[in-house]
Amino acid sequence: MSPSDTHGSRWSDLDRPPLNADALRRALVRPGGLWTALDVVAATGSTNTDLVARAGEGAAEGVVLVAEEQTAARGRLDRSWSAPARSGLFFSVLLRPGDRVPAARWGWLPLLAGVATATALSRAAGVDTALKWPNDLLLRVGGEERKAGGILAERAAGAPGAEAGVVIGIGLNVSLRADELPVPTAGSLALAGAHTVDRDPLLRAVLRSFEHWYGKWCEAGGDPSVSGLQEAYAAGCATLGRTVRAELPGGRDTVGEAVAVDGDGRLVLATADGVREPIAAGDIVHLRPAGGE
């Protein structure tokens, strides 16, 4: 076989085998469970974009869409990012909390996704995963805190007459090597010394953890305190206790110590003049260490 025959092959990087969609479905899709369908595609622009479209066509709650590669992946505020094929976990899930949870509490869903992912990775990969409010996953690489993943939540319309939903997208760097990092401040499970970079068990662990936390949250009517979500998020949030600068629309910014995540999922900053100012995720442009670039 000539080199051109293997170029672009799904087996061309033996360190990065493809996901086993059939095995994932057998493990995760079951009667009475949250996950109702799971598809793995070789490549797509954005799993979030695709799943939002499917939601509008009437897709049921619990659909999981995984891509081996995303060519137009998006973060918050339409920031773009990319990663080599099969070097990470790139997937989106469709949730329809419906009458179980008031829409005012749906803003907790990306924070729930962070808690679910961090707790799963701590168990399955043996790495401490911290959360940067509102949507980043942090790992320690060489003693430094690095961003290794992100979460994007988007409202999704239902089919005509059907309930609306939320699509949660998660991107996680798994086997990314140092020479493949998009920026020096990025990281991956491999660089953090994870026990495994086998994506199949890692994805199973994350989705099972997600199902656990989502079930608790729905049972509590979306109450972050009763469900334990607020406490779990605060325990894993690296932002709390630090002095940060919140850059807001219109060029305004606020500097203060991050002292809490309130019942609405907002980050509460204690400013130098004694004011406690809550910052909503939808209102923030950047959150940086005070004095940092």
Q: Give pLDDT tens digits for 226-262.
A: 999 999 999 999 999 999 999 988 888 999 999 999 9
**pLDDT attached to residue 78:** 54
**pLDDT attached to residue 103:** 94
Q: Over pLDDT 90: what percentage of the chain?
A: 82
Low-confidence ranges of the chain (pLDDT < 70): 1-13, 73-81, 292-293
CA neighbor of 246 nearest in space, from 261, 262, 257, 235: 257
Asked if 170 and 91 count as a contact pair (C-beta separation under 8 A), the reply is yes
Q: What's the pTM value of the predicted model, to 2 decimals? A: 0.92
Domains of the chain plus CATH, in order, are: 3-236 (3.30.930.10), 243-289 (2.30.30.100)
Helix %, strand %, coil % of the chain (to 5): 30, 30, 40
**pLDDT attached to residue 43:** 97
